[in-house]
Structure 1
Amino acid sequence: MSLDHFLAQQLTDTKKAGLYRTFRTMESAPKRTNRIDGVEQLVFSSNNYLGLAADKRLADAAKLAIEEFGTGSSGSRLTTGNTTWHQKLETKLASFKQTEAALLFSSGYLANIGVLSSIPKQGDLILSDELNHASLIDGCRLSKADKVIYPHLHMETLEKQLKENMQYNRRFIVTDGVFSMDGTIAPLVEMRRLADKYEAYIIVDDAHGTGVVGESGRGTSEHFGVLSDVIIGTLSKAVGCEGGFVAGSSILIDYLKNHARSFIFQTSIPQASCASAYTALEIMDSDKGHLERLRSLSAQVRSGLTNLGFNIRGDETPIIPVMIGEADKAFLFAERLQAKGIFAPAIRPPTVPEGESRIRLTVTAEHQKRDIEHLLQSFYLIGRDMKVIGREKNFV
Structure 2
Amino acid sequence: MDLPESLQWLVPHEAARRAGGVRRELVDRAPVSPLLDLASNDYLGLHHDPRVVEAAVAALRTWGAGSTGSRLVTGTTAAHTALEAALAEFVGSEAALVFSSGYTANLGVVTALSGPGSLVVSDAGSHASLVDACRLSRARVVVTDGVEAVRAALAGRTEPRALVLCDSVSSVDGTLAPLRELHDVCRAHGAVLVADEAHGLGVRGRGGRGLVEEVGLAGEPDVVLTLTLSKSLGSQGGAVLGAAPVVAHLVDSARSFIFDTALAPAAVGAAHAALDVLRAEPELATAVLDRAARIASAAGVPVPTSAVVSVVLGDPHVALAAARRCAELGLRVGCFRPPSVPEGTSRLRLTARADLTDTELDLVAAVLAEVL
State the TM-score bracket (shorter-chain normalisation). over 0.9
Question: Residues of 1 paired with 2:279 and 2:45: CA distance?
Answer: 15
Question: Residues of 2 paired with 1:315 and 1:220: CA distance?
Answer: 14
Q: CA deviation at 1:317?
A: 0.6
Tell me the equivalent position of 2:84. Answer: 90
Q: Is the 8 A contact 1:331 1:345 kept in 2?
A: no
Q: CA deviation at 1:315?
A: 4.1
What percentage of residue pairs aligned between the two structures are identical? 35
Tell me the equivalent position of 1:194. Answer: 185
Match of 1:337 among 313, 321, 326: 326
Q: Is the 8 A contact 2:326 2:333 kept in 1?
A: yes
Tell me the equivalent position of 1:51. Answer: 45
Question: Residues of 2 paired with 1:330 and 1:124: CA distance?
Answer: 41
Match of 1:364 among 335, 349, 353: 353
Question: Residues of 1 paired with 2:267 and 2:37: CA distance?
Answer: 24
Pairing of 1:28-107 with structure 2 (within 5 A): 28=31, 34-35=32-33, 40-107=34-101
Pairing of 1:152-167 with structure 2 (within 5 A): 154-165=146-157, 167=158
Q: CA deviation at 1:304?
A: 3.4
Question: Residues of 2 paired with 1:233 and 1:188: CA distance?
Answer: 15
Tell me the equivalent position of 1:111. Answer: 105
Pairing of 1:102-181 with structure 2 (within 5 A): 102-151=96-145, 154-165=146-157, 167-181=158-172
**What secondary structure is seen at the aligned counterpart in 2 of 1:344?**
strand
**What secondary structure is seen at the aligned counterpart in 1 of 2:75?**
coil
Q: Is the 8 A contact 1:325 1:356 kept in 2?
A: yes
Tell me the equivalent position of 1:389. Answer: none
Q: Is the 8 A contact 1:81 1:268 kept in 2?
A: yes
Tell me the equivalent position of 1:304. Answer: 298
The one-letter code sitting in structure 1 at the alignment partner of 2:170 is: F
**What secondary structure is seen at the aligned counterpart in 2 of 1:71?**
coil
Matched, 1:376 2:365: yes
- 1:167-199 deviations in Å (ceiling 9; x for gaps): 221221100111100101111110111111111
Tell me the equivalent position of 1:245. Answer: 239
Please say which of residues 63-72 and 245-254 is displaced more in the overlay. 63-72
**What secondary structure is seen at the aligned counterpart in 2 of 1:10?**
helix
The one-letter code sitting in structure 1 at the alignment partner of 2:23 is: Y
| TM-score (ref. length: structure 1) | 0.89
Q: CA deviation at 1:345?
A: 3.2
Pairing of 1:282-297 with structure 2 (within 5 A): 282-297=276-291
Q: Is the 8 A contact 1:215 1:223 kept in 2?
A: yes
The one-letter code sitting in structure 1 at the alignment partner of 2:233 is: V
**What secondary structure is seen at the aligned counterpart in 2 of 1:174?**
strand
**What secondary structure is seen at the aligned counterpart in 2 of 1:47?**
coil
Tell me the equivalent position of 2:200. Answer: 209
Q: Is the 8 A contact 2:168 2:195 kept in 1?
A: yes
Q: Is the 8 A contact 1:93 1:102 kept in 2?
A: yes
**What secondary structure is seen at the aligned counterpart in 1 of 2:354?**
coil
Please say which of residues 155-164 and 347-356 is displaced more in the overlay. 155-164
What is the CA RMSD across the aligned residues, in angstroms? 1.4
Matched, 1:316 2:317: no
**What secondary structure is seen at the aligned counterpart in 1 of 2:109?**
helix
- 1:240-273 deviations in Å (ceiling 9; x for gaps): 0111100111101110000000000111012222
Question: Residues of 2 paired with 1:320 and 1:80: CA distance?
Answer: 42
Match of 2:268 among 268, 274, 284: 274
Q: CA deviation at 1:380?
A: 2.0
Question: Residues of 1 paired with 2:216 and 2:62: CA distance?
Answer: 40
- 1:65-105 deviations in Å (ceiling 9; x for gaps): 22221111101111111111111111111111211110010
Question: Residues of 2 paired with 1:2 and 1:90: CA distance?
Answer: 50
Question: Residues of 2 paired with 1:4 and 1:124: CA distance?
Answer: 38
Structure 1, unpaired ranges of 5+: 29-33, 384-396
Question: Residues of 2 paired with 1:69 and 1:162: CA distance?
Answer: 47
Matched, 1:9 2:12: yes
Question: Residues of 2 paired with 1:99 and 1:345: CA distance?
Answer: 33
Q: CA deviation at 1:326?
A: 0.9
Q: CA deviation at 1:225?
A: 1.1
**What secondary structure is seen at the aligned counterpart in 1 of 2:370?**
helix
Question: Residues of 2 paired with 1:27 and 1:225: CA distance?
Answer: 42
Q: CA deviation at 1:338?
A: 1.3
| TM-score (ref. length: structure 2) | 0.95
Q: Is the 8 A contact 2:292 2:304 kept in 1?
A: no
